[in-house]
Chains A and B, each alone.
Chain A
Amino acid sequence: MLELKDIVFEVPLESDPSCKKRIIDGLSLTVEDDRFIVITGPNGGGKSTLAKLVMGIEKPTSGTILFDGQDITDASITERAKLGIGYGFQQPARFKGMTVKKLLDIAAGRKLPMLACNEYLTKVGLCSASYLTREVDKSLSGGEVKRIEIATILARDPKLAIYDEPEAGIDLWSFERLTDTFRDIHEAQGGRSIVIISHQERIISLADEVIVLRDGKIIETGAPGEIMPRLGFMDKGMPGCQLSEPTELHLTEIPTTC
């Protein structure tokens, strides 16, 4: 279980470093085991920052983060990873010389059998026969790297997985596979929690709970059925705080048939 208590995160203003900008503003949130939560809201609302605070990539200015009752506010990224927190980056890093297989092995913390690699890659719509030996460098397209990023989280199988806009750059076919995968993990009720930052209706509709974040604060929470109609309303009716357009789903030339 993840508990955020009164989290504040401030950064110095670029124009005037003596002034602070508040990105997360006194936010409290609990994610129980086996829950599937989607965080949505306008760009610049603090969603990615919140995810980074949970993973330890950023440290809060004040507030407390507990994971399974343990205070992890000052824990390093590595410590949090070892405790069972996983993070799928919105813009994944590339590694010259590292094969997809090696990255999956590192993620799993052991040498994976080929069959397992196949399974993880298939779940994100990549045909492993051609991908396992490829390097995670600029020879891969953005969509390919993104799907490999998600596969690393599947291979890691963390107790709490946070995905930052997993749909971005992914083609429709793969996206369907991905939403099925998220649903399967959730339905397995294996004590795993999933937190996804998304603007995608299909992902939002899978959630147990939808959280709308704006200006670093939770402005609404509820079941998808309650929140989704209002998201549309906010989009149309509240100037200055519009939801961004859903990330476009691209049909790419990546081979998706295995």
Chain B
Amino acid sequence: MTDKKTLEPIDEELLAALTNIHGMPKGAFNIRKNGELVERHSSANIEIATKTDYPGIDIKIAPGTKGETVFIPVIVTQSGLKDVVYNTFYIGEDCDIEIIAGCGIHNSSHKAAEHDGIHTFYCGRNSHVKYIERHYGEGEGTGERILNPVTNVVMEEGSSCEMEMIQLRGVTSTIRDTNAELAAGARLVLTEKLLTHDAQTATSNMKVELNGEDSSVQVISRSVAQDDSVQIFNPLVIGNTACRGHVQCDAIIMGNAKVKAIPGIEAACEDAQLIHEAAIGKIAGDQIVKLMTLGLTEEEAEEEILEDFLN
């Protein structure tokens, strides 16, 4: 284990933006800064251990663990750093837990700072997992802030997973890869919220395989592309059995931004019910006017509409 590091005020701010909590979290957590461990805490039911083969951690959650939260935020304040980390969650049967992850980059230099988090989840039978991942970038430097997360989810029978992945502002470039395999009766809700601005680029690839009978997935993508930013969405749902899948991509486009949404569905079973919807549009004029009649300025109205859209 590396030497423990202390958190500086700038780290505290980044952490608060990622986890909505101030200071050290309670319960099980692992805080990583600039590729090194800052502080770790396991709980009676949740064991966090350093991987022996790759950089990263194994998080083992004992069967039957309920009502606990795991925090695994990462902060990068050192420019020129490329941090790749493998985090693997082994979630036992009959658990009901919440996992809060995320990466905040503060880059005040002209050199790039990059964090690639490869997260793998094994969700045990009948477990329920809520996963929230926030990505955020800031800093006055011209250096790129790059986040390329990979999320793999293996869901056993009867498990359910709600995953909310949020990237609001500040990330220069991101390529997100999300893969999921669902066994019988498993239920996955994948929500992605993205806001890009200036010349940022974002690509999101998703592949969800419904392999078990009566498994279901709902993919909800909401994004706002401002200025000259570019977004590409490639969500793909594959139904190999009697299952249900719904993909919904909604994007608000502003300025000179570009958005490409290519929702895909593939069925290899006559009882697979798969639906996709995609919409790209600007903020409706009647929405702005309505909020102006309630006393908001045009700018305030636009802000309000975007905030609610990304919820």
Contact = CB atoms under 8 A, between A and B. Distances in A.
Contacts, number: 56
A93 B290 contact: yes
Nearest to A76: B292
A96 B306 CA distance: 9
Interface string A140-184: 000000000000100010000000000000000000000000000
Interface stretch (A63-71, A101-109, A114-122, A213-221): A101-109
Interface in B270-311: 284, 286-287, 289-298, 304-305, 308-311
Given A97-B308, A97-B310, A98-B308, A81 B295 contact: yes
Given A97-B309, A98-B308, A102-B308, A107 B294 contact: yes
A93 B298 CA distance: 15
Interface residues of B, number: 21
A77 B292 contact: yes
B308 A95 contact: yes
A86 B305 contact: no
Contact of A109 (B295, B298, B305): B295
Nearest to B307: A97
B61 to A, nearest CB: 31
A57, A78, A91: residue with the most chain B Cβ atoms closer than 10 Å: A78
A95 B287 contact: yes
B250 interface: yes
Contacts of B284: 93
B294 A93 contact: no
Interface in A123-152: 152
Given A93-B287, A95-B287, A81 B293 contact: yes
Contacts of A36: none
Most buried by A among B289, B295, B297: B295
Interface string A69-98: 000000011100110001101011111111
